[in-house]
Amino acid sequence: MIAIYPGTFDPLTNGHLDIIKRAAKLFPNLLVAVAESSSKKPLFSLSSRTQMVQASILEANLTNVSVEGFNHLLVDLAKEKQAYAIIRGLRVVSDFEYELQMGYANASLEPNLEMIYFMPSLENAFISSSIVRSILEHQGKISHLLPQSVLKLIQKEGFICM
């Protein structure tokens, strides 16, 4: 039984890792699927974002979690991996509206795919990748928002991180 947690993860935050850890407790196999998402113009390459997720999984010692990049429909990836559930995070009402639409679209393409939504832990509720990118671009402190392994990879790419 496989569940998929898809996202752009640009970059992976403590909020994302919180959801990965919690989902890993519920599902015997969790695939973190890093979307290419070229239309979103990510700051980090697909390869870098995949490395960030992999490093965080290793750092957290999550043996039932794997990671891979993808650039096609999520429902096609789910069919390919024989996944039965998609994990998504909901922080605010606007997330719910977007995820509801996406959930219905996915259900229209694959009715047997279950959508499972996680609320973040309170300490991670305000964290988003876009907030991290904005702080990073202005050379502000992001170390409390990211797993240490991700922070090290961002520094390795030449960004100044506090």
41 is a catalytic site residue: no
Instruction: Give the C-alpha distances (Å, rounded to integers) separating 22 from 30, 41, 48, 82, 125.
Output: 10, 29, 24, 21, 15
Is 16 a known active-site residue?
A: yes
Residue of 21, 91, 133, 152 marked active site: 91
The amino acid present at 80, given as its one-letter code, is E
> Pick the catalytic residue: 48, 56, 128, 129?
129
- Contact residues for 158 (Cβ-Cβ < 8 A; gap 6+): none
The residue from 16, 88, 128, 149 that is catalytic is 16
Q: Which residue out of 40, 72, 141, 144 is catalytically annotated?
A: 40
Q: Does residue 40 have an active-site annotation?
A: yes
Active site residue 138: no
How far is C-alpha 72 from the geometric centre of its chain's CA atoms? 16
Q: Which residues are catalytic?
A: 16, 40, 91, 129
